[in-house]
Structure 1
Amino acid sequence: MPAKDMFHDSAKAALLKDGWTITHDPLSLRMGKKDFFVDLGAEKLLAAEKNNQKIAVEIKSFVSQSEIRDLENALGQYVLYQNILSVLEPDRILYLAVRESVFVDLFEETIGKLLLDRQVLKLLTFDPEMEVLKRWIN
């Protein structure tokens, strides 16, 4: 099993504070003979619809010397997991979780806006110190 991201616990705490139930830590997936591990699986009861919303969350730190390299790696992993989930758990929505500061520094720049405008990925941002969710970007 892969090592946890350095912000794993604060992202998990933020989801819990927002009313999510962590159902998997990590969410294990098997495709053929290969195993994959998305950081978290979570559910939340939507009272108005009387059903559960299911998400998978891949947490990324973006702390290397190259945020573009971090972005390339995160996008590759996101696309891989998104495709696997579409087959194994099509009702589960995948989110990439990043710190709010990463969102401001990277996703409010031209390259980040391009990815969000083209709906390449779904993001959730969090404040690791306060352990709260800041934004859901679909």
Structure 2
Amino acid sequence: MPARDIYHAAVIKALIADGWTITNDPLYLAYGGRELYVDIGAERVTIAAERDNQKIAVEIKSFLSPSPVNDLQEAVGQYEVYRSVLKELQPKRQLYLAVPKRVYEGIFSERFGQLILNSIGINLIVFDEQLERIIRWIS
């Protein structure tokens, strides 16, 4: 099983505070003889009859290396792999990349980061690691 991100506990607390139930920690996926572990699986049960239960998978990235571009490349690659497998195994589960506020205000707010977010269609959760709260959902 892979090592947990340094913000793992903060994101769990932020999701719970936002009304989510953590169902998998980590979310295990197996496909084609390979095993994958997305950091978190969560769901929110809705009351309205016209809406199904919402299910998400969350991959947390801290972006701590000296190169934000390398961190972005790694995050995007992992995100795309997980999204492809989820599409086959759990097509109703929405994948999100969770990043700290400083990362969103850094590379993701730059023209370069916006290009990557928009062209690839990455769903993003921006969280405050000190307050352990979600600041923004971007789909």
Alignment TM-score, normalising by the size of structure 1: 0.96
C-alpha distance in 2, partners of 1:82/1:18? 23
Q: Which residues of 2 match residues 54-69 of structure 1 at below 5 A?
A: 54-69=55-70
1:75 alignment partner in structure 2: 76
C-alpha distance in 1, partners of 2:102/2:82? 24
Gapped regions of structure 1 (runs ≥ 5): none
Q: SS state of the match for residue 4, structure 1?
A: coil
Q: Which residues of 2 match residues 87-106 of structure 1 at below 5 A?
A: 87-106=88-107
C-alpha distance in 2, partners of 1:42/1:5? 17
1:119 Cα deviation from its structure 2 partner: 4.7
Q: Which residues of 2 match residues 1-138 of structure 1 at below 5 A?
A: 1-48=1-48, 49-138=50-139
1:115 Cα deviation from its structure 2 partner: 2.0
Q: For residue 10 of structure 2, what is the amino acid of its counterpart?
A: S
Identity of aligned residues (%): 49
Gapped regions of structure 2 (runs ≥ 5): none
1:100 Cα deviation from its structure 2 partner: 1.0
CA RMSD of aligned residues (A): 1.0
Q: SS state of the match for residue 118, structure 1?
A: helix
